[in-house]
Amino acid sequence: MESPSQQAMRGALANLGPMLPLLTELGELFAAAGHELALVGGPVRDAFLGRTSPDFDFTTSARPEQIEAILRPWAETTWDVGRAYGTIGALRGNTTFEVTTYRADAYDRVTRKPVVAFGDNLHDDLHRRDFTVNAMALRLPELTFVDPYDGYDALQKRRLRTPAPPEVSFGDDPLRMMRAARFAAQLGFDLAADAAEAMQAMAGSIEIVSAERVRDELSKLLLAPWPRRGLGLLVDSGLADHVLPELPALQLEIDEHHRHKDVYEHTLTVVEQAIELEGPPGSDPAQVPGPDLILRLAALLHDVGKPATRRFERGGGVSFHHHEIVGAKLTRARLRSLRYDKETVSAVSRLVELHLRFHGYGDGQWTDSAVRRYVTDAGDLLPRLHRLTRADSTTRNQRKARRLAATYDELEVRIEHLLAAEELGKVRPELDGTEIGELLGIPPGPLVGRAYKFLLGLRLDEGVVGPEVARERLLAWWAEQPESRP
């Protein structure tokens, strides 16, 4: 009778089934050349979890030049992923392979860059990995399961443990603390108690890690199925104080709309609710197909302006006037410091700035002009703004929640009607820059831009008035400008 572990191994091999012939073939090639080869890390872990890994990582006794010599005639193409670190990449069919020489790195504890040292055995290579669930291997071609640090037990218990003592592991590479939060969000696992204690004690060492690496881990965390778990770990461990201090700062604030919870808890709930409103992967952009990093970042950061704008009012109330404006500035600064690209920084900060605009809608008193401006100001971000605004309602008052939802439903209907009638997504003034210049007798430049902006405001406020009326209104505007006088 098979033991539970044997049954699990059989299941893992079944999950690797379509790839086993290719894996075995590759293992035989390395064995024929006198080298060891093992499938390692995420692909092995995911096979036990019934998940599919997009890429396959291997470790080997062969050196980089030997790896390349073995792979080149077998693969469709090979490339140098990082020869200095012992990694050669290859493509066979639609599958990407990365093969790395056994490693036995040492770290200087000042920077995160290791002093690369190649190892000579699989066990030592596994010992230097981040967590025991990623320190399992499958020797090829014989398909022997190797688990010297009880990764399978940790997998069963849904625990993140380190192969080495956690203070050693995190001291060698502080980015592993960010990875712990990311894996908590991706896998739904808990962090072992000793690792949690080490993270709290060593959180400050994350500052030696480059902003780009921190950014990548934060993005993966947010795009995972359970980002709330990872964000909570960042805050509880103290890591967020160094990489995203705006988040723990929200714990001290009481949200004036939702006094049953602080703004931090409200924010985590908004993130979850925004995710629920994403469309299925691959759906139309208007559905905001998930996982959507811009929407999730906006949900995470939408209230970061509250600590700086909190005011205690007479009678015991609390206000956060203009926190959306302050929050947009803080968001822009934080995302830039994390080296996010300009497009992401612009989109997320704009959503933070606009997230309260709907609350001026009241009971539907907005004019068509106000609706036009709402749509135009949001631009391509409108589908995300719809979802962020709806996700921002976390009230437990069901009556209030239904009223807010119904009011936003009404606004969306009005937007759809105006979009259909006026093509607001392509709204332009009724005169273009050339026509403006000819009518006013001015060359291209800032004055034409000001006139164009005036006509755009006219278009938004009054809708389509016709070219003749637009010319009359523009001439009247121009007559009031100091530049029009001799």
CATH 3.40.50.850 for the 4-157 domain, yes or no: no
Which CATH code of 3.30.70.1380, 3.40.50.150, 1.10.110.30, 1.10.10.10 fits the domain covering 159-244? 1.10.110.30
Residue 456, pLDDT > 90, answer no
Question: How many angstroms separate the Cα of 100 from the Cα of each of 62, 212, 320, 399, 479?
Answer: 8, 23, 53, 59, 73
Give the torsion sign (CA, 340, 342, 345, 351).
negative
CA distance linking residue 138 with residue 192, whole number of Å: 25
- Contacts (Cβ under 8 Å, ≥6 apart) of 7: none
- Residue that wins the pLDDT comparison between 53 and 331: 331
Each residue's pLDDT tens digit, 75-96: 999 999 888 888 999 999 888 9
Give residue 109's pLDDT. 58
Give residue 425's pLDDT. 56
- Residue that wins the pLDDT comparison between 451 and 105: 451
Give residue 212's pLDDT. 97
Is there a contact between 247 and 231 (Cβ–Cβ < 8 Å)?
A: yes
HSE of 38, CA atoms in CB hemisphere, 13 A: 24
| Average pLDDT value for residue range 325-337 | 97
Beta-bridged to residue 98, according to DSSP, are 57, 89
Q: How high does pLDDT run on average in the chain?
A: 89
Question: In which band, very low, low, confident or very high, does the pLDDT at 258 lie, cut at 50, 70 and 90?
Answer: very low
- Cis preceding-peptide flag for 73 (omega within 30 of 0): no
- This prediction has a pTM of 0.83
Each residue's pLDDT tens digit, 97-152: 999 999 876 665 555 566 667 888 999 999 999 999 999 999 999 999 999 999 99
Question: In which band, very low, low, confident or very high, does the pLDDT at 210 lie, cut at 50, 70 and 90?
Answer: very high
Residue 363, pLDDT > 80, answer no
How do the domains of the chain map onto residue ranges? 4-157, 159-244, 265-426, 433-484
